[in-house]
Copies of this chain bind each other. A is one copy, B any other.
């Protein structure tokens, strides 16, 4: 998933400084040889990823079929670490290694909900990530709120003994920004409900679908506020509950969630490198995240991001295009419960921000890329435009405003790393995101060539650029959705 806090708190497009930079000296620009090599990469990626035999699709199929759901800290996630190491090696990466990531382990047990009265019916729910359990079934009358702001306005004590319910529905947009408008209910709703005295929170799933499958995802308990259980209803179940409440009688719900945290666990980011030549101590990072939520097989979130970026790096290797800087493909562990993989990477490499040319992540499913955004120093923008020119035939526009690197690289971006975003068409992404419907069939194999091409070109040309993109030099454009 994309960065929750960024999306929740900064929905409006932030206009970055857009004054045109002065013309660069020719020796600051990418060479025609580099552009030619990148063009070759692009075309090879397109030609090699047209169907189920493409490397990116095969990797995605392998991870979802042989591992499947892989909640960080669970046995399948441990198997995914071994899977990633083996795949990097099989793909010919020059160096494959892991770096430890520690995070709070959370697991889900059974989860049940039902309307007790006046219209007994089962409700499909899923516990929000890192929710406390109910410690056996609890019951309460439901109080509906139109959105998070309405719940936040509830007076202390006004929900004593009640179950709060936020019915706001996420809207569908190509860039997925409806997620940012809606996800606050999931993140901040639980503590808002607890402040008003509620014993539990239900939310309408943060998703654009009409499927009777609930969307999980992280909550964010506020410090000093009692932690209450919180779960998402599927969209049809949210409709059902609202229809019942609209009849005016008290609607009593029973909720039984057997979930909770179990101390800290340690797992690993898995890293594969294509070693650079004259600037090998400097790195370009691309990647995706290896962990997933547990209801689905984590195909769009984010096996495909791992597959695309692994395939992009492998293609550079396969075409014998040794880059000047080292290209690091990172399969992050535990993005989902708070970006722990990205934070661990940033902590481990905090002293090397200047050695990071740029960072990017593929974590918005398998829809085609339509825009390149970047946060680089102004004088490096012409090089981004050169990259954009190689990407333009793929239907990718270079846009100087907005964008963001993604949850995992964001921790390094916060330390000053330059970043890029290859923005994907997310029109349907939030139909399946964090649900049992996150499965392989949601991925169109023919859509992956363009994405492998884009990441390969971005990584390769960033590695070839004569000058720095500005990491460690302030001010860089900040991510701004």
Interface residues of A (CB under 8 A from B): 61, 64-69, 76, 119-122, 124, 210-213, 235-236, 239-240, 243-244, 247, 295-297, 435-437, 439-442
Assess whether A240 is in contact with B124, with CB atoms less than 8 Å apart. no
Task: Give the distance to chain B from A238, nearest Cβ to Cβ, in Å.
Answer: 10
List of 10 A-B pairs having minimum Cβ-Cβ separation, nearest first:
A236-B439, A212-B436, A68-B121, A65-B243, A210-B441, A66-B119, A212-B437, A236-B441, A211-B211, A239-B441
Q: In the complex the two chains form, what is the Cα distance from A32 to B388 in whole Å?
A: 71
Cβ contact of A212, chosen from B65, B244, B296, cutoff 8 A: B296
Q: Which residues of B contact A121 (CB under 8 A)?
A: 68-69, 76, 297
Q: In the complex the two chains form, what is the Cα distance from A211 to B76 in whole Å?
A: 23
Q: Which residues of B contact A122 (CB under 8 A)?
A: 68-69
Q: Which residues of B contact A211 (CB under 8 A)?
A: 211, 213, 437
Assess whether B65 is in contact with A240, with CB atoms less than 8 Å apart. yes
Assess whether B65 is in contact with A124, with CB atoms less than 8 Å apart. no
Q: Which residues of B contact A76 (CB under 8 A)?
A: 120-121
With contacts A76-B120, A243-B61 taken as known, whether A212 is within 8 angstroms of B439 at the C-beta atoms is yes
Copies in the complex: 2
Q: In the complex the two chains form, what is the Cα distance from A102 to B427 in whole Å?
A: 49
Q: Which residues of B contact A297 (CB under 8 A)?
A: 121, 236, 240
Assess whether B65 is in contact with A244, with CB atoms less than 8 Å apart. yes
Q: Which residue of B lies closest to A439 (CB)?
A: B236
Task: Give the distance to chain B from A77, nearest Cβ to Cβ, in Å.
Answer: 13
Can you name 12 extra interface pairs (CB under 8 A) apart from A69-B121, A212-B213? Answer: A61-B243, A64-B240, A65-B244, A68-B119, A69-B122, A76-B121, A210-B437, A235-B441, A236-B297, A236-B439, A236-B441, A239-B441
Q: Which residues of B contact A66 (CB under 8 A)?
A: 119
With contacts A124-B436, A212-B213, A441-B210 taken as known, whether A65 is within 8 angstroms of B236 at the C-beta atoms is no
Q: Which residues of B contact A296 (CB under 8 A)?
A: 212
Q: Which residue of B lies closest to A120 (CB)?
A: B76
Task: Give the distance to chain B from A151, nearest Cβ to Cβ, in Å.
Answer: 24
Q: In the complex the two chains form, what is the Cα distance from A121 to B295 in whole Å?
A: 11
Q: In the complex the two chains form, what is the Cα distance from A67 to B68 in whole Å?
A: 36
Q: Which residues of B contact A67 (CB under 8 A)?
A: 119
Q: In the complex the two chains form, what is the Cα distance from A119 to B439 in whole Å?
A: 16
Give 26 A-B contacts (CB < 8 Å), ordered by A residue.
A61-B243, A64-B240, A65-B119, A65-B240, A66-B119, A67-B119, A68-B119, A68-B121, A68-B122, A68-B240, A69-B121, A76-B121, A210-B441, A210-B442, A211-B211, A212-B213, A212-B296, A212-B436, A213-B436, A235-B441, A236-B297, A236-B439, A236-B440, A239-B440, A239-B441, A240-B439
Q: In the complex the two chains form, what is the Cα distance from A113 to B172 in whole Å?
A: 34
Task: Give the distance to chain B from A37, nearest Cβ to Cβ, in Å.
Answer: 35
Task: Give the distance to chain B from A79, nearest Cβ to Cβ, in Å.
Answer: 9
Q: In the complex the two chains form, what is the Cα distance from A339 to B66 in whole Å?
A: 43
Q: Which residues of B contact A439 (CB under 8 A)?
A: 210, 212, 236, 239-240
Q: Which residues of B contact A243 (CB under 8 A)?
A: 61, 65, 440
Q: Which residue of B lies closest to A110 (CB)?
A: B110
Q: Which residues of B contact A239 (CB under 8 A)?
A: 439-441
Q: In the complex the two chains form, what is the Cα distance from A240 to B60 in whole Å?
A: 12
Q: Which residue of B lies closest to A244 (CB)?
A: B65
Q: Which residue of B lies closest to A442 (CB)?
A: B210
Q: In the complex the two chains form, what is the Cα distance from A477 to B41 in whole Å?
A: 65
Q: Which residues of B contact A65 (CB under 8 A)?
A: 119, 240, 243-244, 247
Task: Give the distance to chain B from A270, nearest Cβ to Cβ, in Å.
Answer: 19
Assess whether A240 is in contact with B440, with CB atoms less than 8 Å apart. yes
Q: In the complex the two chains form, what is the Cα distance from A235 to B440 in whole Å?
A: 11
Q: Which residues of B contact A435 (CB under 8 A)?
A: 212
Q: In the complex the two chains form, what is the Cα distance from A121 to B437 in whole Å?
A: 15
